[in-house]
Chain A
Amino acid sequence: MVFNSFEFLVFFTIVFFIYYTIKPAYRWSVIILSSSVFLVYHVPSFMLVLAPVILFNYITGLVIESSDSERRKKTIFIASILVNISILVFFKYINFILENTGFLVHQINPELNFKLISIILPLGVSFYIFQAIGYNIDIYWETSKAERHLGYFAVYMMFFPKLISGPIERTTTFLPQIQNPVYFDSKKITAGLQLILWGLFKKLVIADRIEPSTSLIFNNVNDYHGLSLFIGVGLYVVQIYCDFSGYTDIALGLARTLGYNLTDNFNRPFSATSISDFWRRWHISLSSWVTDYIYKPVSANKRHWGKYGTIYALILTFVTLGFWHGASWNFVIYGFLHSLAVTYEFLTTKLRKHLCQMIPRLLYNSISRILTISYLGFTMLFFRYATLTEALTAIKNMVNNFKLSIHGLGLGLGVKDVIIVVLGIIIVEIVEKAKAKKGDFESVLVQKPLWVRYSIYYFFIFSIMLFGSFGVSEFIYFKF
């Protein structure tokens, strides 16, 4: 039941009406029920993973907080982290571990073979396990209180708009919202619907229109060379941004109609002037999570190593960030490449500052943006391809047979597609720039006269109806 499906429309309409029919103090129970239905609809057994995770972390949170002795507190805390990581490792990384161990064992004894386990990755497990880990860490660090109400804690963990692909919410921002009753507020509902419309535009008009082209290019790695692959990488970067930020806007919009504010994951990532800056703008809920719960503790622990401590923490943080996306060496390489870039930026801070003062600011920023996007595109090859061989073939093919000609590119895009995608990107840039300036999407529209607002609504509704690619395609981040 993806957000852009008819089933979800029916599901959400029913949830919405039941939610606002019952008393505000009990609305959390509708969230638990609807989130359970939402998950069970995909695969019923997924609930057998989520429910124990909720109960386990609810208990560990309370025990960590109430323990008198520091030793007991630490023991429960470490146990909670280990159990959560074990669940994630079992469902997401067990076959990766078996495959790699099997490979090594096979080198020593060719008669020994490891069999892989047939296992389905429970939807959203990477997201809710990270949220559970963050919750226990906050309590252990005493930066947040344990939630005493099991129902509120369940909402924090399983709220369906963010269950499958985040945002990864934090105790300090999301739990206080759940603890207060939600009242019907037409302004919030309007703001939520606006965000949903905007998210659908990005997903259906841009991301899904590009998808056949990027699939064609990336699924036939040996057939594409030079400029075709360069354009393919560029299209993929646009596609993944419109797909994931489109999903996020829909998730934020759905939550807003139910009275909650979720964390925005994006802030014009392609305006970043460095890779460090990029990670402050892209998948913000994940990058801030790894900063707070991996980078900070590791760099604090190694603070007396000086610069080496920071570099060590950076590499560990970004490799984890990459590996979080999936059980593949390509994701490890993706994370490692980003850690190299951030380390370079850390070591050359003063040099780059001097350089910035020597040449015009506009020129410096423009060059920095081009370099950042180019490096990002290069790393995206490792993100997109399942195997290292395919990624390396693509890199080799990009350089080989490079011709600066638009003839015979074979991108699978017609003139109409190109016009729609280009205009779509321009609209995204204008809207996101206005959104960044005003603070949120709601503020962009709220001061506009009624006729302007309705013209904008109709423009987006008709754009989706006329130019959207329908056929219910899943969001890219659902697989993580």
Chain B
Amino acid sequence: MELNSILAELTILFRKELARDNVELKMEMNAKDVDGWDSLNHMALIAATEKHFGIKFTFKEIMKMKNVEDMCCAIQSKLIK
């Protein structure tokens, strides 16, 4: 799956989870750049992402995610496996 396609699906998922229609994810963005995305709902977003793509991140993979691009790359590598 292409990174851009993952980004598009992730954007739709984040809009639903954060209950905000204006969420427009970009690769370089992190939690600080997205309204409503904070440390309190970060893991809920991770869990929703895992469920949506049918994958499971390891603990280290989650800790290494610093921005949306890291998240998309981690999803892509899981889907390839």
Contacts and interface: CB of A to CB of B under 8 A. Distances in A.
A304 B47 contact: yes
A141 B60 CA distance: 6
A310 B38 CA distance: 12
Given A143-B63, A296-B63, A306 B39 contact: no
Contacts of B46: 300, 303
A307 B64 CA distance: 23
A277 to B, nearest CB: 11
Contacts of A306: 44, 47
A431 to B, nearest CB: 26
A141 B47 contact: no
B64 A300 contact: no
A346 interface: yes
A131 B32 CA distance: 25
A350 interface: yes
Q: How large is the interface on B (under 10, 10 to 19, 20 to 34, 35 or more residues)?
A: 10 to 19
Interface residues of A, number: 23
A276 interface: yes
B59 A301 contact: yes
* Interface majority SS (helix, strand, loop, mixed), chain A: helix
Nearest to B56: A304
Given A143-B63, A143-B64, A300-B62, A346 B40 contact: yes
Nearest to B45: A303
Interface string A120-149: 000000000000000000000111000000
Contacts of A349: 40
A309 B43 contact: yes
Interface in B9-39: 19, 39
A382 interface: no
A310 B19 CA distance: 18
A350 B18 CA distance: 10
A276 B64 contact: no
Interface string A286-310: 0000010001110111111011011
A138 to B, nearest CB: 9
B18 to A, nearest CB: 10
A300 B44 contact: no
B39 A296 contact: yes
Interface string A412-449: 00000000000000000000000000000000000000
Contact of A310 (B40, B59, B64): B40
B19 A300 contact: no
Contact of B43 (A141, A143, A303): A303
Contact of B64 (A141, A291, A303, A304): A141
Given A300-B46, A304-B47, A306-B47, A141 B39 contact: no
Interface in B33-73: 39-44, 46-47, 59-60, 62-64
Contacts of B47: 303-304, 306
Contacts of B62: 300
Contacts of A142: 60, 64
Nearest to A291: B39
Contacts of A313: 43
A307 B63 CA distance: 20
Interface string A306-327: 1101100110000000000000
Contacts of A295: 39
A276 B63 CA distance: 22
Contacts of B63: 141, 143, 296-297, 300
Given A141-B64, A303-B44, A310-B44, A297 B39 contact: no
B43 A300 contact: yes
A349 B64 CA distance: 27
A314 B60 CA distance: 20
B19 to A, nearest CB: 7
A-B complex: 4 closest residue pairs judged by Cβ atoms = A303-B43, A303-B47, A299-B43, A141-B63
21 contacts: A141-B60, A141-B63, A141-B64, A143-B64, A276-B40, A291-B39, A296-B42, A296-B43, A297-B63, A300-B59, A301-B59, A302-B43, A303-B47, A304-B47, A306-B44, A310-B40, A310-B41, A310-B43, A310-B44, A313-B43, A349-B40
Interface of B: 19, 39-44, 46-47, 59-60, 62-64
Given A141-B63, A306-B47, 4 more contacts: A143-B64, A295-B39, A310-B43, A349-B40
